[in-house]
Amino acid sequence: MSPGLIQMWISFIAMGLMIIAALLIMLSRFKLKGIFRFTLSFISYFIFIIGGFLMLLVVIT
């Protein structure tokens, strides 16, 4: 595959991770309580940071 096509797939993965993270954050805020809320929020923010980092790499290159 060409480098441009690889960057396209990486950007799709990054956008998907950000969407999943946003949905998980909404789920944790409105449906969960206690330790489950904290755990799911922590995981979703970590996923969001990974997606943002991947998107930053695509934009820089």
Within-domain flag for 6: no
Please say whether the beta carbons of 54 and 17 come within 8 A.
yes
Tell me how many domains the chain contains.
Answer: 1
Within-domain flag for 36: yes
Q: Give me the pLDDT at residue 61, please.
A: 87
Within-domain flag for 2: no
Closest CA to 52 of 24, 23, 11: 11
List pLDDT tens digits, range 10-50. 999 999 999 999 999 999 999 989 999 999 999 999 999 99
Within-domain flag for 7: no
Q: Give me the pLDDT at residue 1, please.
A: 85
Within-domain flag for 55: yes
Provide the 3-class DSSP secondary structure of residue 1: coil
Within-domain flag for 4: no
Task: Tell me the pLDDT band of 55, cut-offs 50, 70 and 90.
Answer: very high
Question: What are the backbone angles phi and psi of residue 31, rounded to the nearest 5°?
Answer: -115, -25
Q: Give me the pLDDT at residue 42, please.
A: 94
Within-domain flag for 42: yes
Q: Six-digit token pair at 41? A: 């929020």
Q: Give me the pLDDT at residue 5, please.
A: 94
Q: Which domain holds residue 25?
A: 16-60
Entry pTM: 0.86
